[in-house]
Amino acid sequence: MSTSDRITVLNPMGFAPKVLEKPLAPRLSTLDGKTVYLVDCRFDDSDVFLKQMQAWFAEHLPGVRTVFKPISSVYLLDDPTTWEEIKAKGHAAIVGVGH
């Protein structure tokens, strides 16, 4: 290679997207009489964990209605229909991501 030859080198680091801060949802004063959605994002074994959680609620907090809800696709894709259902019919949601 002579001194006049050049190569181009690219930096693979890139730039992370800007993250906008959002406040947490306000806590409910009680779960009694409320509907809690247990959202399965279809990540490894999240369904197993959420069904165990549903059984725990039934045993320890029988006044709480739980709805096991798998999202319509995989966890990488948004599911606006599910989020709208939870907003319309639920009081809270627990989103399970597995492991």
pLDDT tens digits, 54-85: 999 999 999 999 999 999 988 788 899 999 99
pLDDT tens digits, 2-61: 667 888 888 888 888 898 999 988 899 999 999 999 999 988 888 999 999 999 999 999
What's the 3-state SS for 4-64? CCCCCCCCCCCCCCCCCCCCCCCCCCCCCCCEEEEEECCCCCHHHHHHHHHHHHHHHCCCC
Q: How confident is the model at residue 97 (pLDDT cuts 50, 70, 90)?
A: confident
